[in-house]
Amino acid sequence: MTIELFLNGEHKKLTAQADLALSQVLQLECRGVNPGCGKGYCGCCTVLLNGKLTYSCQIPFFSVKNQSIMTVEGIQTSNIFSDILKGMKRAKLDICDYCAPARTLSFYSLLKRADRPNNQEIQEVLSSIHCSCTHIPLLNQAIFYSLEEKYTRLHG
Amino acid sequence: MNERYLKDKLLGKIRYPQNNTSKKILYIKLICSPIERGSIEELSWTEPFPKDYFLIKAKDIPGKNTIDFGDGSFPLLADEEVYYPYQPIALLVGPAPQVLKELEETVKLKINKKEILPEFNISEQEQCSYQREIRTSSSDGLENKSEIIWVEDYFEMEGQQHSSFPPAHSRCQNEGMVFNIHCITQWPWIIKKNVQQLLKLPKKMVKIRCYPCENHQESKIFHPVQTASFCALASFISKKNCLFQINPEDNYFYAPPKGKVGIYLKAACNHRGELLHLKLDFSLEGGAYPLWSKERVDRMCFFTSGVYHCRNLEIHGKMQRTTSMPTGLFPDGDLSSLLTSIELFSNIMAEECKMTPLEWKTVNLIKRGNGWFTGALLARNPSLDELIKAVVEPSDYQRKYSAYQYQNHLIKKDSSKKPQKSKGIALSLGCIANNFLTQQRDQSPATISMTLDQQGLSIELPAPPGHGQLYKIWSSMASEALSIDENNIRFDIYKSEENNPEGPSCFSRNVTIIHHQIKQCINQIAKKRFREPLPLFETRRFRRSRNWDDDNFKGHPYQHLSWGAAVVELELNHEDNSINIQQIYIVLESGKILLPSVASSVVNQAIGQSLQWIFKSTENYNPMGENTLPFNLQFLETSKEPKALDGLVQNILPAAIMQAIAQASCKNQHFLPVTPGNWERKK
Ligand code: FES
Ligand code: FES
């Protein structure tokens, strides 16, 4: 089936089997989707569906008709992306390349909605990707630095 | 870290086998054994499969149904018998994963149960896949001496399991019967050899495309071979491109688990605490198809006394076959369990000798000039004294240790005064070496070759390095020495595996060896340059040290050993049985650190992995919640060469945490994982 949707801000028509998971279709379309388990367990297939963090392996392709989907490619020119990049660099985070796009998106969703997120919000974002091969405390540090970068950018 | 590199990572520019899949790919679903052990009576299906759907059984394999590692093998698909739960029996292949699921239900699988092998047990003798006995002296002369202090104990450690992604997904592109296999591996040669044998194909029809496997603890040797073989087989039979994605619901694990280890230790010390004699009896769980038994058992034997000096040893080590999945090979083999046990045991010995653990350790530390029991001398000073100093001073270990001992003494005297919280602090030491011990042809070499011609310098590697940034380091090294532009330096990983058997010659992602070889090649080319005409060619082949005789266990197999020390302080809350780690000091001597940020990230991951191993059920310890884990890390760079780092923390930290728990709870710890039952106070 062919459906229309907004992928990274662009209006697109995608054709695929209706019962495929969104992640399976997206992994052919864009670089930043790396499905791992296909079962909503690892979080490596995270995308922003209408601005909300979503595991794309859990969403059937047919159900995203006319919805807006954002992958990491869609945020690469944003200021928040460069805040995240600087924050990670400052934290000396050697991020795992497999889930890096998903992590970046999760950071982005946090930084976008909050200037001073509380600990619970940070924990939520960190635990949305369920893998321990990048050290959690360092990721936490990277979030703090990214928030700082964002603050300096906005308030000097 | 290089900003562009980081940016590429964040934007997902690093590719994996499952990316770039075309829409015409076929997916693979495993049909696994639902029971542990039995004989397959029937494997059939009632309705004909739709077009483009296949069921592949062991009988359909054109070549040899074996995955062979040189030291141990197992069938790719179970043929007549199954030997462990979820053993793969057949592959369902087709274009839609959902249809595969439905088809799976129509497949009839009948297996007659058979008796399972005995559970893992250190005294089990019959199911041994390999054993080694070494006796350098006997304890007879010591038995009756009254001044000798004898200590004995038993430790049992459950294996760790990597929980890390990316799983070893594989893809096979069938290009006119040339099989291009895309997989995440560091051992392309093993995959190539096995796929060739499986499909009975000549060398040039199998090509391996390796993807980077940085940042994920390596050692996933057998999974990629298995998944790549599934794909290649499916692709051979269907004549299409196939993808195998690991899926936890299929009960196919992300990474093979490490088996249990049982360790019995008996030691004799004199009144000064000197270790006079040590007896080690250990058994490793090898699963249904023990792999690398010799390597793993021998490695443990070599490190029998840990970082302590003792030449009078009685060692008996073995690997036991059980009805479980074949166990995986970790960067340290099974050393983490042994070294943890020895550290725990050293505390018990210290107590018996009426010394503090620090005193006992200082007396017995291995030093330069000390001999291994294999007859080799320790050429370089391991600087263990310095390492101890570097953790003991900042953590105020000595004072705190005595204070907490005194607290325990008071509790023992008057048990009604048990405080609600108690503290413990502990010091532990450890070491690690890379390299395989074996001298088997397939398993030990690693070759680097370099060609300088008009176009520039091309460097061929046997496998992808541990980290993408290493290319940067090597190319700037070459560019500086040969004054050529970095853009004219190319790396090639695939050509070398066409010809040479390049085995898992060493762990730690080959950095220790490859870095050295590259340096040597560059120097040679620099010497020849302007004297000889282009093209200039240089090659270096690494082989097991000649000083090592693995049959007779003589000599020194390791070029480099890395050392480390840790101090951990923690608090136990006896109300809710929770643990609060208050400080961790880690000092590592792992040679020259090529990439500081990568090194600290490796340590970070290793801390996470160790905590997961120690507190398997995270009810009482939540690593996620502890995102401010107070840890201090220091690298002591006493050598100019890079040395092994992977696995070093797992050899040190668990022992320190367990000893600290032992002090805080007044209960010696013998079992891993540690659960509240191990430290709980009796109500
Ligand atoms: S692939 Fe979607 S959560 Fe794992
Ligand atoms: S897959 Fe990225 S942290 Fe493990």
Which residues from A are below 8 Å from B625, CB to CB? 123
The pLDDT of residue A40:
80
The larger pLDDT score, comparing residue B365 to residue A131, is at: B365
Mean pLDDT within B597-621? 73
- B505, B190 Cβ separation under 8 angstroms: no
Cβ–Cβ gap A135/B612 under 8 Å: no
A84–chain B Cβ distance below 8 A for any pair: yes
CB proximity list for B151: less than 8 A, separation 6 or greater:
B265, B266, B267, B269, B345, B348, B349, B352
Has residue A153 got a pLDDT over 60?
A: yes
Q: What is the pTM of this model?
A: 0.86
Q: How confident is the model at residue A152 (pLDDT cuts 50, 70, 90)?
A: very high
Cβ–Cβ gap A96/B12 under 8 Å: no
Cβ–Cβ gap A100/B98 under 8 Å: no
Cβ–Cβ gap A140/B9 under 8 Å: no
Has residue B301 got a pLDDT over 50?
A: yes
The pLDDT of residue B445:
61
Flag the least confident range among A101-105, B123-127, B229-233: B123-127
Q: Is the shortest distance between the CB of A42 and ligand 1 below 6 Å? A: yes
| Chain B nearest CA to A61, separation (Å) | 13
The larger pLDDT score, comparing residue B297 to residue B160, is at: B297
The pLDDT of residue B658:
94
Q: How would you classify the pairing of strands B456-460 and B489-492?
A: parallel
Which residues from A are below 8 Å from B241, CB to CB? none
The larger pLDDT score, comparing residue B117 to residue A138, is at: B117
Q: Which atom of ligand 1 is nearest to the CA of A56?
A: 2
In angstroms, the Cα distances linking B321 to B263, B289, B615 are 17, 7, 26
Has residue A10 got a pLDDT over 70?
A: yes
Starting from the CA of residue B167, give the closest ligand: 2
Q: Do B446-542 and B3-115+167-247 fall under one CATH topology?
A: no
- Class (C level, CATH) for B446-542: alpha beta
The domain defined by B3-115+167-247 folds into Aldehyde Oxidoreductase; domain 3 (3.90.1170)
Mean pLDDT within B569-595? 88
Q: Which phi-psi region, left, alpha or beta, contains residue B429 (left: φ > 0; alpha: ψ -120 to 50)?
A: beta
Flag the least confident range among A2-16, B217-231, B608-622: B608-622
Q: How confident is the model at residue B555 (pLDDT cuts 50, 70, 90)?
A: confident
Q: Taking all residues of chain B, what is their mean pLDDT, rounded to a whole number?
A: 84
List the domain boundaries for chain A. Answer: 2-74, 78-155
Helix H segments across B421-562?
A: 469-482, 496-499, 511-528
CATH of region A2-74: 3.10.20.30
Which of the 8 DSSP states describes residue B356?
-
Which residues from B are below 8 Å from A88, CB to CB? 6, 10
Q: How confident is the model at residue B524 (pLDDT cuts 50, 70, 90)?
A: very high
Q: How many CA atoms lie within 13 A of B90 on its CB side?
A: 23
Mean pLDDT within B447-467? 84
Percent of chain B clearing pLDDT 70 (strictly above): 89
Structure token pair of residue B118: 């005995």
Mean pLDDT within B410-430? 87
- Collapsed DSSP state (helix, strand, coil) of residue B505: coil
Mean pLDDT within A32-40? 79
pLDDT in tens, B51-88: 889 999 999 999 999 998 878 899 999 999 999 988 99
Structure token pair of residue A132: 């321990």
SS3 per-residue string spanning B201-258: CCHHHEEEEEECCCCCCCCCCHHHHHHHHHHHHHHHHHCCCEEECCCHHHCCCCCCCC
Query: Which of B:648-667 have CB within 8 Å of A?
Result: none
Has residue B112 got a pLDDT over 90?
A: yes
The pLDDT of residue B165:
54
In whole angstroms, give the CA distance from residue A49 to residue A62: 14
In angstroms, the Cα distances linking A76 to A101, A137, B484, B507 are 11, 25, 34, 36
The pLDDT of residue B442:
55
Of B276, B263, B265, residue with least CA distance to B149: B276
Smallest Cβ distance to B624: which of A27, A101, A127?
Answer: A127
The larger pLDDT score, comparing residue B303 to residue B512, is at: B303
The pLDDT of residue B23:
66
Flag the least confident range among B335-339, B393-397, B412-416: B412-416
- B192, B229 Cβ separation under 8 angstroms: no
Burial of B220 (0-12, 13-18, 19+ CB in 10 A): buried
How many contacts (CB atoms, under 8 Å) link A and B? 154
pLDDT in tens, B142-200: 777 778 899 999 999 988 776 555 667 889 988 888 999 988 877 788 888 899 999 99
B556–chain A Cβ distance below 8 A for any pair: no
The pLDDT of residue A110:
94
List the domain boundaries for chain B. Answer: 3-115+167-247, 261-436+556-679, 446-542
Mean pLDDT within B26-43? 92
The larger pLDDT score, comparing residue B358 to residue A124, is at: B358
- Choosing from A88, A98, A105, A127 the residue with most ligand 2 atoms within 8 A of its CB, the one to mutate for a pocket test is A98
The pLDDT of residue B498:
54
10 Å Cβ neighbour count for B138?
A: 12
In whole angstroms, give the CA distance from residue B616 to residue A137: 19
Q: How would you classify the pairing of strands A52-55 and A46-49?
A: antiparallel
B212–chain A Cβ distance below 8 A for any pair: yes
Mean pLDDT within B404-426? 86
Q: How confident is the model at residue B439 (pLDDT cuts 50, 70, 90)?
A: low
Peptide bond into B419 cis (omega under 30): no
Mean pLDDT within B586-610? 82
In whole angstroms, give the CA distance from residue B291 to residue B305: 25
The larger pLDDT score, comparing residue B556 to residue B508, is at: B556
Mean pLDDT within B306-317? 91
Percent of chain B clearing pLDDT 90 (strictly above): 36
- Choosing from A42, A61, A98, A99 the residue with most ligand 1 atoms within 8 A of its CB, the one to mutate for a pocket test is A42
CATH of A78-155, one of 1.10.150.120, 3.40.1110.10, 2.60.120.330, 2.60.40.10: 1.10.150.120
The pLDDT of residue B369:
79
Assess if CATH 3.30.465.10 describes domain B261-436+556-679.
no
In angstroms, the Cα distances linking B238 to A109, B51, B199 are 43, 11, 13
10 Å Cβ neighbour count for B343?
A: 27
